[in-house]
Amino acid sequence: NHPVIYAVTPTYARLVQKAELTRISQTLMLVPNVHWIVIEDSEKKTDLVRNLISESKLVATHLNAKTPPFEQLKDKDPRWKRHRGVEQRNMALKWLRENFQPKRGKGIVYFMDDDNTYSIKVFKEIEKVKKVGVWPVGLVGGLNAEAPIIDPETGKVTGYKSGWKPNRPFAIDMAGFAISLDLILEKQEAQFSYMMEKGLQESEFLSYFTTKEELEPLADNCTKVYVWHTRTEKPTITGIVPGLEV
- List active site positions: 202
Contacts (CB under 6 A) with ligand UDP, residues 204-243: 231
Contacts (CB under 6 A) with ligand UDP, residues 145-174: none
CB of 206 to ligand UDP, least distance (A): 17
Q: Which stretch binds Mn ion (CB under 5 A): 91-99, 111-119, 121-129, 143-151?
A: 111-119
Q: Which stretch binds ligand UDP (CB under 6 A): 8-16, 90-98, 141-149, 155-163?
A: 8-16
Task: State the residue number with the nearest CB to ligand UDP.
Answer: 85
CB of 20 to Mn ion, least distance (A): 9
182 assigned ligand-binding residue: no
Nearer residue to ligand UDP within complex by CB, 24 or 126: 24
Among 91, 113, 190, 219, binds ligand UDP (CB under 6 A): 113
SS (H, E, C) the chain: CCCEEEEEEEECCCCCHHHHHHHHHHHHCCCCCEEEEEEECCCCCCHHHHHHHHHHCCEEEEEECCCCCCHHHCCCCHHHHHCCCHHHHHHHHHHHHHHCCCCCCCEEEEECCCCCEECCHHHHHHCCCCCEEECCEEEEECEEEEEEEECCCCCCEEEEECCCCCCCCCCCCHHHEEEEHHHHHHCCCCCCCCCCCCCCHHHHHHHCCCCHHHCEECHHHHCCCCEECCCCCCCCCCCCCCCCCC
Nearer residue to ligand UDP within complex by CB, 87 or 127: 87
CB of 90 to ligand UDP, least distance (A): 12
115 assigned ligand-binding residue: yes
**Helix axes of 47-56 and 17-28: crossing angle, nearest 10 degrees:** 20
Instruction: Provide CB contacts within 8 A for 246, sequence distance 6+.
Output: 15, 18
C-beta of residue 114 within 8 angstroms of C-beta of residue 24: yes
61 contacts ligand UDP (rule: CB under 6 A): no
CB of 200 to ligand UDP, least distance (A): 13
CB of 231 to Mn ion, least distance (A): 5
Nearer residue to ligand UDP within complex by CB, 114 or 216: 114
- Residue ranges for the known binding site for UDP-alpha-D-glucuronate are 10-12, 41, 84, 89, 113-115, 229-231
Can you give the binding site for ligand UDP, defined by CB under 6 A? Answer: 9-12, 41, 67, 84-85, 88, 113-115, 231
Can you give the binding site for Mn ion, defined by CB under 5 A? Answer: 113, 115
